[in-house]
Amino acid sequence: MRASPALALASSVRDGERSARSVVEDALSVIARGDGDIHAFLRVLGDEALAAADEVDAAVGAGRDPGPLAGVPVALKDNLCVHGVPTTCGSKILEGWRPPYDATVVERLRASGAVIVGKTNMDEFAMGSSTENSAFGPTKNPRDPSRVPGGSSGGSAAAVAAGFVPLALGSDTGGSIRQPAALCGVVGMKPTYGGVSRYGLVAFASSLDQIGPFATSVGDAAALYEAIGGHDPRDTTSLPEPPRAVTRAMADGGAAGLRVAVVAELVEGVAPDVAERVSQAASALEAAGATVREVSIPELRYGLSAYYLIAPAEASSNLSRYDGVRYGLRVDGPDVAAMNTATRTAGFGDEVKRRIMLGTYALSAGYYDAFYGQAQRVRTLVIEAFGRAYAEADVLIGATAPSTAFGLGAKVDDPLAMYLSDVCTIPSNLSGHPAMSVPFGLGDDGLPVGVQILANARGEAEMFRVAAAVEAAAHSTAARSDTAR
């Protein structure tokens, strides 16, 4: 298995070879030097991070184990609540809001010894595929600053890809972890719905949202997933059982003996260079001892349409709380209705307004059954179709994104083209199943390609076994290419 930089850092801190303060100081220095060009961060928490690092060092000095991620710098997408720290969700409407509590994942990060160094940029309220919809300006792709990093968790993906932090958290509603992971060339994972608590995640679409890790290696992603996962009684959708021990599963077995299926609908229509990398990954898994075949799941073709009714409908409901009364931005008006309208007009960006209007229409009298109700029936068909596929395969694979990273501004005036960026990732959100993206080589333009690995509900152990094998094959191929040159 490939080296895990975050775990190596944590080991050096626990063993006293390095101080957590020195690790965090290095990260803050790299961010200060490099983020002016990338704009991955909306807020860097320098003093707070150093204070947390000192607590880790004090624990080590006292002979206590500070946790599996001791001293490791972590970045958080700016829709995750940290007590007293401004949380904007990339929107003007949350101006000045400081959460009065920590998200569960924040509590668990601290319990693991990790050090939170900042909040990252994102598409406003997680609505976007390029991190160009942020009210605070776009994030650029560290692999090529003329390209987008993907979205909506583009700031977190870019922070890891640029080497600012070894680990980050994002949220995934329709691919918002996996798609930017693919475009930035890092590992990104969406857990089973309910596998990681959503308490303290500012909601976009509550039946779809999930929090998950970004990392530079599969092993580090597994460690971060294990640190944040597990039941939380404060989240009514939280699964009651503990998370699967994915790190042990990777150590105990690779891809040998697993049944892997390449999903035709997750390869058809993508760019030829992306499709070729998926094919190469499938061949590598076969060489590693997996049984590989192709499967067709025709119902996945309807996923995009169903998603863009369900997600906006839930967003319309969730975002109704931003009224200029309770918190955040307020634009005065002659009466309450005028104040509400003025606040939302000034506070929400164009994409958020577009989705609120779409969702409100889908939920309106006379249209509910025809649109929202029908979309939920399609969702059921997708879940049932996945069930049939998993009866014949342990793990599915396909493309994560239809292409490599596209240019900044290339799709901002074409919402439908932008929505198609998530066509490969949306089905797993509709089903609630885990999925992840692992870098596998470069496209014809020299930019990263991600291979998507999907598993059945609570199938993270098998998924990570396959992910580790794909990662090993990718690095073996890269090493051979370097030697040939």
Work out whether the CA dihedral 193, 263, 129, 313 comes out positive or negative: negative
Distance CA 342, CA 92 (A): 13
Distance CA 81, CA 104 (A): 9
Asked if residue 82 lies in contact with residue 108, where contact means CB atoms within 8 angstroms, the answer is: no
Q: Name, in order, each residue with C-beta under 8 angstroms of 440's C-beta and a sequence gap of 6 or more.
A: 277, 278, 280, 281, 449, 450, 451, 470, 473, 474
190 is catalytic: no
Distance CA 112, CA 230 (A): 13
Is residue 152 reached through a cis peptide bond, with omega within 30 degrees of 0 on the bond before it? yes
77 is catalytic: yes
CA end-to-end span of the chain? 25
Q: Name, in order, each residue with C-beta under 8 angstroms of 69's C-beta and a sequence gap of 6 or more.
A: 6, 10, 109, 112, 113, 114, 167, 223, 224, 227
Tokens in use for 157?
């993906």
> Residue 458 gets which letter from DSSP?
T
Asked if residue 141 lies in contact with residue 403, where contact means CB atoms within 8 angstroms, the answer is: no
Which one of the listed residues 19, 153, 156, 176 is annotated catalytic? 176
Asked if residue 437 lies in contact with residue 194, where contact means CB atoms within 8 angstroms, the answer is: no
Which one of the listed residues 19, 77, 190, 411 is annotated catalytic? 77
Which one of the listed residues 4, 112, 129, 152 is annotated catalytic? 152
Rounded to the nearest angstrom, the gap between the alpha carbon of residue 60 and the centroid of all alpha carbons in its chain is 32
238 is catalytic: no
Instruction: Supply the residues annotated as catalytic.
Output: 77, 152, 176
